[in-house]
Amino acid sequence: MAKLKIGLIGLGTVGTGVYKTLQDINNVEIVKIAVKNINKPRSVNVPTTMMTDNPYEIVNDPSIDVVVELIGGVNPTWDYLETAIKNGKHIVTANKELLAKKGEELFNLAEKYNRVVLYEAAIAGGIPIIMPVKTILAGNKINKIQAILNGTTNYILTNMDVNGSSYDEVLKKSQELGYAETDPTGDVEGFDAAYKITTLATIAFKKRVKLENVYREGITKIRREDMKNANELGYKIKLIASATIDETNNADVRVHPMLVSKNNMLAHIDYVTNAVKIKGHPIGDIVLSGPGAGEFPTASSVVGDILAIASEFGRTDYMLPMMRCNHTEAANPVKIDDTFNKYYISITAPNAIGIIAKIGTICASKNISLSSIMQKEVSGDNNADIIVITESCQEKLIKEVVEELKDCTVNSLIRVAEG
């Protein structure tokens, strides 16, 4: 049997892992690799004759069957993939940003040219999630996802929790260790997780979710005091990517920090580990957890996609029908102000008689019930730290409460996860 010919765009951390892994697989052969700098020192010995600094040499090469794209971003990556598909090549990608921003266009193009686009590595690194949702869980009506999809932010939050460090201290350490980029914005402001949950919700709900309708909030405002308070109340703080859909097709998809009960398995997903919790019928609740990034974990997903194509290549005129996109209907987006959540509110207020009663009265005026309210220590300037946990209420009403707390300083407002 002829070997499946692979063109690899990108030989960074993941690309190197893919190259190493494929050396031991007989029915697949990498024939060309596109890199920025051919002469750059690398941990693998790749023949220079196999390398090019021009990706168009790969996407236009008639001998190549599958283009594996591992460079990320939208431009010029989109043009590479568009050209490859039009030239009859299948695609394997780990590009969560491109999928979130141009997924519909990409899958429509692939269907027009009868090509397959696989992207297991784009959502949760080494954790298998897309193929299970598309195949084993295909008979389920999935209506809720809660996930930790970014290892950098989870590493930062875990260190803040364990060591009592500030966000700035842990971020600096994370950058020194290579867990966080020099510019960490994509991770710490929630962009990376938002890209991933956009695609995952689309697949799981079988409805198109648009990135512009995904609410996003990062971890940069989380304080060490919040970590301490959360622990005392029986919670951990995690950056949660969540998505729910109701019977009328209303989809609430978002990324933001949450207080997660210590009884919830996600509270114990630490450091760079990722996890995806799915609720559906008839399966109930399941959790998939594992390494969400890294050379070999992500390469595992990439190679799995390559071998899925190899298993059917040349055997059928319509490959992998269950893995193709078949979403024609868009979900109705739910605005964050219209959502209902429980809230943790950290307030600094004058240590005066009646201040707690005032907070309670303002909440009551919005029909917001309080689950708990406690006053912490009084500082030297006679201000008190007050922690409030509300019952479930509408987001726009809790914002009105914050506006009316004029005599107080609201330090933190963090949503509380169910369960």
* Rounded Cα gap, residues 198 and 325, in angstroms: 14
Residue spans of alpha helices (H) in 209-329 = 224-232, 295-312
Give which of 240, 251, 242, 254 is closest to 327, Cα–Cα: 251
> Quick check: 388 and 398 in contact, CB under 8 A?
no
Buried b (16+ CB within 10 A) or exposed e, 172-189: ebbeeeebbeeebebbbb
> Quick check: 100 and 194 in contact, CB under 8 A?
yes
| Active-site residue flag, 101 | no
Amino acid at 175: Q
The predicted-structure confidence for 200-209, as pLDDT tens digits, reads as follows 999 999 999 9
205 Cα distance to chain centroid: 16
The torsion angle over the Cα atoms of residues 336, 338, 343 and 348, rounded to 10 degrees, is 80
Q: Which helix (H) or strand (E) holds 28?
A: strand 28-34
pLDDT score, position 56 = 98
Q: Is 60 helix (H, G, I), strand (E, B) or coil?
A: coil
pLDDT score, position 383 = 87
* Angle of helix 96-112 versus helix 77-86 axis, rounded to 10: 20
* Rounded Cα gap, residues 265 and 95, in angstroms: 28
Amino acid at 332: N
> Quick check: 411 and 223 in contact, CB under 8 A?
yes
Q: First vs last Cα of the chain: how many Å apart?
A: 52
> Quick check: 230 and 240 in contact, CB under 8 A?
no
CB count within 10 Å of CB 138 equals: 11
> Quick check: 276 and 288 in contact, CB under 8 A?
yes
* Rounded Cα gap, residues 220 and 196, in angstroms: 20
pLDDT score, position 376 = 81
205 to 69, 279, 339, 348: CA distances (angstroms): 26, 11, 19, 42
Catalytically annotated residue among 32, 102, 196, 277: 196
Amino acid at 224: R
Give which of 334, 337, 332, 360 is closest to 415, Cα–Cα: 337
pLDDT score, position 1 = 62
> Quick check: 241 and 149 in contact, CB under 8 A?
yes
Domains present along the chain, CATH in parentheses:
4-125+295-323 (3.40.50.720), 130-291 (3.30.360.10), 336-416 (3.30.70.260)
DSSP-assigned letter for residue 208:
B
Q: What are residue 2's DSSP bridge partners?
A: none
* Rounded Cα gap, residues 110 and 91, in angstroms: 9
Residues of the chain with pLDDT under 70: 1, 380
- List the structure tokens of 46: 């790749």
